[in-house]
Copies of this chain bind each other. A is one copy, B any other.
Amino acid sequence: MQNFTLYNPVKIIFGKGQIAELANQIAKDKKVLITYGGGSIKKNGVYDQVMAALSGYTVMEFGGIEPNPKYETVMRAVQMIRENQIDFILAVGGGSVIDGTKFIAAAVNYEGDPWNMMTDSASIKSAIPFGTVLTLPAAGSEMNCGAVITRGQTKIPFMNPLVFPKFSVLDPETTTTLPPHQTANGVIDAFVHVIEQYITYDAKAPLQDRIAEGILQTLIVEGPKALKDHLDYDVRANIMWCSTMALNGLIAAGVPQDWATHLIGHEITAVYGLDHGQTLAIILPNIMAVKADKKRDKLVQYAERVWGVTDGTAEEKVEAAIAKTREFFESLGVKTRLSDYDVGEDSVARLIKQLEEHGRVAIGEHGDIDLKQSEEIIRRSL
């Protein structure tokens, strides 16, 4: 097992009716800014529950944080906080709202251009406190200290322990009104997070492997159920908990990681605007295929334990596991080829240029996915 440090002080408040707990988590004298996205929370009752819980507080609102939150948008919230002496933020939404709120929290008192935080996260010296009410299980942002922000055609992540949420309220009932494609994208995002911390090489960390496999197995069973019966509480609860557990640092502890799928996927979203989950469903099977040699042992273990593939040679098991992964994504209604989204062959050069510009020239757990291999992966994804 590799050495590691694991620290995660986020208080998770999970279950039916837990939004009412907000009043016990935020000091009464705080001036609260609620951040949210396109306004679905005003239609599905979440906004009303939040406002009821915050009755008696001074509350302001900042809506309109878009999927793949933009620098220009979140900087407007920073301005609002500075002008109104806000001292607590409550992010109500999915990963984009929470990611945007992390940037906002750190930017408020940042000296200099806050965009510098993205490339020099150690320069963050403070952040104003914030909590979250999660409404879209996917990104895992509710229980980690990372965020992804987009400026122009640059979509990049930053991490800093100062932007852990103080608490996150996870009420699975808030997710029953999600459109099916958002449920599906969320399941895929969580699934791929796990794969990226699991399908690398053997680090003699069997418990981490078992937990990763447990999340994958649960998503494989529960994901399709959520699309069949969108009101099943336990199904929603299990997907929500899986997506949080997929990226809260636990399964990364002591093992190597390969974030190539996300890094290539981010470029596809930045240039062509595909949903984040769609880009992962496109890229992952092809990373598995191109890196099958180096990842063989883990892919065989994945085939056997997660998909129950026990017959055949190692190569056949790997092939079967990749096919089953793709079928799983497609079964959730998410297409797995760039051509399914009208992205053609000219994307190859375009995406390689993006990767080069962002310094993604040696990615994967061995740092051996160079631009040539990325090109092979993207070409297979057409």
| Best-buried of A217, A218, A250 by chain B (most CB within 10 Å) | A218
Chain B neighbourhood of A9, CB < 8 A: 7-9
Q: Which A153-189 residues have C-beta < 8 A from chain B? A: 172
A137 vs chain B, min Cβ distance (A): 12
A94 vs chain B, min Cβ distance (A): 20
Chain B neighbourhood of A206, CB < 8 A: 217-218, 221-222, 238
| B8 adjacent to A13 (CB under 8 Å) | no
Chain B neighbourhood of A221, CB < 8 A: 206
Question: A5 near B: Cβ within 8 Å?
Answer: yes
Question: A237 near B: Cβ within 8 Å?
Answer: yes
Chain B neighbourhood of A234, CB < 8 A: 1, 204-205
Question: A313 near B: Cβ within 8 Å?
Answer: no
| B7 adjacent to A11 (CB under 8 Å) | yes
Question: A64 near B: Cβ within 8 Å?
Answer: no
Question: A309 near B: Cβ within 8 Å?
Answer: no
Assuming the contacts A1-B15, A6-B12, A11-B5, asked whether A210 and B205 have C-beta atoms less than 8 A apart, the reply is no
Question: A14 near B: Cβ within 8 Å?
Answer: yes
| A242 adjacent to B207 (CB under 8 Å) | yes
Per-residue B-contact encoding for A1-38, CB less than 8 Å = 1, 0 else: 11111111111111111100000000000000000000
Q: How many copies does the complex hold?
A: 2
- Complex Cα–Cα for A120 and B13 (A): 24
Residue of B nearest to A253 (CB): B14
- When the two chains form the complex, which single residue of B2, B210, B237 contacts A214, counting CB atoms closer than 8 Å? B210
- Complex Cα–Cα for A300 and B10 (A): 35
Chain B neighbourhood of A15, CB < 8 A: 1-4, 254
- Complex Cα–Cα for A17 and B18 (A): 42
| B215 adjacent to A207 (CB under 8 Å) | yes
Chain A count of residues within 8 A CB distance of the other chain:
42
Question: A80 near B: Cβ within 8 Å?
Answer: no
Assuming the contacts A6-B11, A213-B214, A214-B213, asked whether A238 and B18 have C-beta atoms less than 8 A apart, the reply is no
Question: A241 near B: Cβ within 8 Å?
Answer: yes
Question: A245 near B: Cβ within 8 Å?
Answer: yes
A245 vs chain B, min Cβ distance (A): 7
Q: Which A202-242 residues have C-beta < 8 A from chain B? A: 204-207, 209-211, 213-215, 217-218, 221-222, 234, 237-238, 241-242
- Complex Cα–Cα for A241 and B211 (A): 12
Assuming the contacts A211-B214, A218-B206, asked whether A237 and B1 have C-beta atoms less than 8 A apart, the reply is yes
Chain B neighbourhood of A215, CB < 8 A: 207, 210
A270 vs chain B, min Cβ distance (A): 32
- Complex Cα–Cα for A22 and B149 (A): 35
| A14 adjacent to B5 (CB under 8 Å) | yes
Residue of B nearest to A204 (CB): B234
11 A-B residue pairs with CB within 8 Å: A1-B237, A3-B15, A4-B14, A5-B11, A6-B14, A14-B253, A15-B254, A204-B234, A204-B237, A207-B218, A241-B253
* 15 more CB-based (< 8 A) A-B contacts, given A8-B9, A211-B211: A3-B15, A3-B18, A4-B15, A5-B11, A5-B13, A6-B14, A8-B8, A9-B9, A205-B237, A206-B238, A207-B238, A207-B245, A209-B214, A210-B214, A241-B253
Closest 4 CB pairs of A and B: A210-B214, A3-B15, A9-B9, A204-B234
